[in-house]
């Protein structure tokens, strides 16, 4: 799995960035408007990556920091919120504003985002209210050990034939409820949820 991509900004658009690495390979990453704003005028960038692997596409999403990426992962774990919708939310709201809206139960702020209705806004708040702590650098996974366990369990589930999105959703739910899970426990419990 790709943790981050660092290199020269070869192309920058409000929806994507092409980062050329030292090996001469250019990676196209879908980005948020917040990331676009922070990347303007820079020659070099380091973007944290989320890989979305589907039957018909292999898409990379790039984030300015881990906090933005974790918010994205939380959003896609909500039923009815896909990567495009999550990116739209993170383009419309800063991470701090989004966290504040979720923890404060502010449906109006989320409904103001294009494509988000009242039901989806309420579902986001209900599903994520207990997982998000405003201003925290990391949201659901607090230690490197927990992140490592999450990644190992995710890799195992994908190798077993489950989609990455489905596996991440199940594991995010488990780790939010039981942060100290071991890899084997996480895999077994995730299998019951899928």
Identify the structural domains of the chain with CATH numbers, from first to last. 4-63 (2.40.50.140), 66-128 (1.10.150.20), 144-193 (1.10.8.10)
Looking at residue 25, what is its pLDDT? 93
What is the predicted pLDDT for the residue at 119?
Answer: 93
* Residue 109 scores a pLDDT above 80: yes
pLDDT in tens, 120-136: 999 999 999 888 865 54
Using DSSP bridges, classify how beta strands 16-20 and 4-12 pair: parallel, antiparallel or unpaired: antiparallel
Mean pLDDT of 75-97: 90
Q: Per mean pLDDT, which range of 47-51, 71-75, 186-190 is the poorest?
A: 186-190
- N- to C-terminal Cα distance for the chain? 22
Q: 48: which residues sit within 8 A by CB, 6+ positions away?
A: 3, 4, 62, 63, 64, 65, 66, 68, 69
Determine contact, residues 94/102, Cβ cutoff 8 Å: no
Average pLDDT of the chain to the nearest whole number: 85
pLDDT, average across residues 40-54: 90
Q: Residue 70 belongs to what H/E stretch?
A: helix 66-76
| pLDDT for 147 beyond 60 | yes
pLDDT at residue 179 above 60? yes
């Amino acid at each position: 799995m790709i943790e981050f991509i660092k290199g020269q900004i070869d192309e920058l658009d409000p929806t994507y960035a092409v980062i050329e690495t030292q090996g001469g390979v250019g990676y196209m990453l879908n980005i948020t408007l917040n990331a676009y704003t922070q990347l303007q005028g820079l020659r070099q960038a380091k973007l944290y990556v989320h890989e979305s692997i589907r039957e018909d596409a292999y898409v990379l999403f790039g984030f300015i920091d881990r906090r933005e990426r974790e918010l994205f992962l939380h959003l896609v774990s909500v039923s009815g919120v896909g990567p495009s919708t999550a990116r739209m939310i993170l383009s419309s709201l800063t991470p701090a504003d989004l966290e504040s809206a979720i923890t404060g139960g502010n449906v109006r702020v989320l409904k103001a985002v294009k494509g988000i209705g009242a039901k989806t806004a309420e579902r986001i708040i209900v599903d994520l209210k207990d997982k998000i702590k405003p201003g925290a650098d990391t949201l659901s996974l607090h230690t490197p050990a927990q992140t490592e366990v999450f990644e190992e369990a995710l890799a195992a589930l994908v190798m077993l034939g489950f989609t990455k999105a489905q596996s991440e959703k199940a594991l995010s739910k488990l780790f939010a409820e039981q942060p100290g899970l071991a890899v084997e426990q996480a895999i077994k419990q995730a299998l019951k949820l899928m």
